[in-house]
Structure formats: C-alpha cells, structure tokens
Amino acid sequence: MTHKNHFDGSRYANDLTLAYSAPTGTDIDWLNEIRQKSMDAFVEVGLPGARVEEWKYTNLSSMNSKTYGVLEKAGELDAAIMAIIDDAYLDDIRGSKVVFIDGFYKAELSTIKGEDGLKLLSLNEYIKSQNGDAKTLLQSTHEVSSLANLNSALMTDGYVIQVKPNIKLSQPIQIIHVSGERSNLKALRNKNFIEVSENSSAQIIESFIGVDNVDNWKQDVTQIWVEKNAVLEIYQTQLQGNETIHMGETHIDVAEDADFKHYSLNIGAKNSRTEIKPTLNGLHGNVDLRGAFLGRGGNSHDVFTHMKHLVPECESDQIYRGVLDKGGKSAFQGKVYVAKDAQLTNAEQSNKNLLLDRDAEANSKPELLIYADDVKCAHGATVGELDAEALFYLKSRGLYLAAAKSLLVEAFIAEVYDDVAIPSVKEKYLGLARAWLD
C-alpha cells in the first residue's frame, strides 16, 4: 500500500539522537524507549504516499528531498517575531498566555495564570516534574498513523492542560505557536495533551503563525479527552509563512454528555493539513466541527475529518467552507463512521467551496460508513462560483466589483463562525477573512 522508499530511514537516526536530549535536557530511558519504538513503527511505513486514500489529494513528494531535521533550540527573538505575536494575541482575553517559539515553550513570553483545578505547563516541564505521570500520559496515546509515530519519536516539546473535575475555567487559554528564521529546513514537532475532566469546561484559542520564506515543517499531534458532562471549545487560526508545511492532527475522546467544539481558519502555509478525529464513546455526546480555508497563489489546504460514532444517541455536525482564488487548491475529506450499535445517531456534514478563478481547485469527498439502521445522516458537498445574479444586484446598487465579491465571500464564510462564543475571537476570524479578500 505504501512505499517505504518515500524516504530515507537512516537520515532519521541522527535526528533521534538529537531528540533524545533536546526536550528535557537529560536522557530519560523510558522516553527514549518510546521514541525508538515510535521511530521503528514510522520507518516500517514511511511517509504516506498518494496511493493512501486519506492522502490522495496531498502530494508530499517535495518533502522527500529535504531533511527537515530536529531543531535543538529556538531562534533568537527579534522585532519581526514580537510584532506577529502581538498581532495574534487577543488582549481582551484575561486567561493564560502560552507562547512557543520554533516549537519550544518560552516562559519569558508567556503568562501562566494560576487557577484552581487547572494544570497548564509545557510537555518538557511536565516530563521533568512528574516522571511517573508523564510516562503514563505519553504511553496512553493510541496513534496509528505513521506521521503520528514520527511525531512521537522526534517531538521536542508541547503542552499539557489538565482541568480537574467540576471546574469551569473563568477565562480562555491562549496558545501562540510561532516559527521564525531559525526553523528553516527544520521540523518543529509538538505533542500536546488536553484533559477536561467530569463536569468541567475550558476554552482554548490557538494560533499558528510564522514568517514568510522559511521552508519548515510544523507538525502537532494533540490528544484530547473530554470527559463526562465536560465542555471543550477550541478556536484555531493558521497563518503560517508562505513556505511552511503545516500539519495538525487531533484525536478527541468524547465521553457521555460531553460537548466538543472545534473551529479553525486556514489561511497561510504552502501546504496545510488539518486532521480532526473525534470518537464519540459515551451516550449523548456532541461534536461540532467548523472551519474555513482560504487559498491562493500556491496555497494548498487539506482538511481531513474522521467522526466515529461508537455508541447510540450522539450528535455530530460539521460545517466547512473553502474559498479558492488563483493558484489555490483544497481538499476536504469527511469520513463519518457509525457503528452497528450506534442507533439514533444524528450526524451532519456540509462542505461548500467557492472558486474565484479558473485556476483554482477544490476537492470534496464525503464518505459515510453507516452500520446502524436507525440514524439521521446528512451530507452535502458543492463546488461553485459566485452567483452572477447576486453580483449584478450588488453592482446595480453602486458596489464596486471587488466590494461586491468581498461581501458575498464574507457571507459565504460567516456561517462557519456564527455561533463562536467569544466576541473578539469571532471578530478575529471575520477580520482575517476580510483581510484575505482585500
């Protein structure tokens, strides 16, 4: 199925040695074992090729000739980096601010606000401070993809967020990932864990930003648990530099009566790949996935969702919108699996794409695997152009063509962010979309 010759296994041996010491400053045997095992698993399979169904729209062949080695430490801070952090930071949000530079947590740029029942720290701190728990946590991940294995082998840092039972976080946590010049030809790999315990709730605002003309590979793998009757909302924006390969893979376990919401906006990067894989494994769980991707001039955005309904009476709803201008490309693949026992499932999925130019491409592939018989599953996928009648209507009222297009595109995207609960986050999403259009 896959081709191991997709990459040169030996070149990772050196990376592994670097990774052994990079994150914690000390060699930890159990961690090195996990790294070695994960690396072996990765080498066995290699990078996913175009023949793998899940990757058929994404061409990773350009990565083969590059090394994208492990980066040992973050680059120096300069004015340009500080400016883009300022841009990304929402200063009306009073919760903790967590900043990663080149894949490493930066305490001097972060503000961790103590809050009862909240544990928030970098993966490296976590590993250093609580060896036993960390081992359990790192071994608990059940990733199956070769890229997730590569991440486990070579990750250099990440974050751990744990919310104890019966705690409603009073403020959203802001996480900002920045990649700078130093990451050129390097891979920045983070592994993250979020656990929201029974009857608790949390909101996380996560921005991925970077400078232009830096050829790097950002790869985050995140494991999330939303426990019984808990609520988690994640708000992501991706504005990486124009030469970045951006990959985010998120696995979510959604328990009984739990509620998980994930919003995203992909604008930057040469190639972005957003994978979201929720598993509904408790009665009455709910998942809402919302996202938009805007591409032009060599951007390619992939969104891959895999919604797994394992038990009865859960709901999931997905709304994704793509806007592709000259030279932009996208693929949405939305897989919905409903197990035999998952009766009374309600699963919806909608992906609409707008092409603003002849030289633009949008692919949309819903895939429903339904083994229960009493379910409601609806899906819709469209690729179209702006409505000429609507454009003329707007122009006949005095709107310039560009303004008319902006208004229509904004309206097309707006549905995705309609129910964003934090006003400044909603405004940020719409503002970024508007800026992309202008």
Partner 1 sequence: MLEIKNLHVEVAGQKILKGIDLTINAGEVHAIMGPNGSGKSTLSYAICGKDGYEVTEGSITYKGKNFLELEANERAAEGAFLGFQYPVEIPGVSNMNFLKTAVNSIRKYKGEDEMAPVEFLKLVRAKAAELEMDPEMLKRAVNVGFSGGEKKRNEMVQMAVLDPGFSVLDETDSGLDIDALRVVADGINRMRAPEKSILVITHYQRLLDYVVPDFVHVLADGKIVKSGDKSLAMELEKQGYGHLGIDENAA
Positions that interact with partner 1 (CB under 8 A): 387-390, 392-401, 403-404, 407-408, 410-412, 414-415
**Coil vs helix vs strand at 193:** strand
User: Which of residues 27 and 438 has its CB atom nearest to partner 1 in the complex?
Assistant: 438
User: Which of residues 80 and 401 has its CB atom nearest to partner 1 in the complex?
Assistant: 401
Rounded Cα gap, residues 1 and 208, in angstroms: 33
User: Which of residues 371 and 400 has its CB atom nearest to partner 1 in the complex?
Assistant: 400
Would strands 159-163 and 186-196 be described as parallel, antiparallel, or unpaired?
Answer: parallel
User: Which of residues 63 and 394 has its CB atom nearest to partner 1 in the complex?
Assistant: 394
Rounded Cα gap, residues 62 and 217, in angstroms: 12
As measured in angstroms, the least distance from the Cβ of 236 to partner 1 is 22
Beta strand spans in 156-270 (E): 159-163, 173-179, 186-196, 201-210, 217-226, 231-239, 245-254, 259-266
**Coil vs helix vs strand at 98:** strand
User: Which of residues 80 and 411 has its CB atom nearest to partner 1 in the complex?
Assistant: 411
User: Which of residues 358 and 397 has its CB atom nearest to partner 1 in the complex?
Assistant: 397
As measured in angstroms, the least distance from the Cβ of 205 to partner 1 is 24
Closest by Cα among 162, 95, 91, 93 to 125? 162
Rounded Cα gap, residues 279 and 276, in angstroms: 10
For residue 166 the two structure tokens come to 């019966």
As measured in angstroms, the least distance from the Cβ of 350 to partner 1 is 14
User: Which of residues 401 and 421 has its CB atom nearest to partner 1 in the complex?
Assistant: 401
As measured in angstroms, the least distance from the Cβ of 404 to partner 1 is 8
Angle at the Cα of 150 from the Cα atoms of 144 and 151, rounded to 5 degrees: 90
User: Which of residues 377 and 391 has its CB atom nearest to partner 1 in the complex?
Assistant: 391
Closest by Cα among 418, 179, 180 to 288? 418
As measured in angstroms, the least distance from the Cβ of 418 to partner 1 is 9
Give DSSP secondary structure letters for 297-350: TT-EEEEEEEEEE-SSS-EEEEEEEEEE-TT-EEEEEEEEEE-TT-TT-EEEEE
- Write down the number of H helices and E strands in the chain: 10, 20
As measured in angstroms, the least distance from the Cβ of 72 to partner 1 is 48
As measured in angstroms, the least distance from the Cβ of 355 to partner 1 is 18
As measured in angstroms, the least distance from the Cβ of 433 to partner 1 is 12
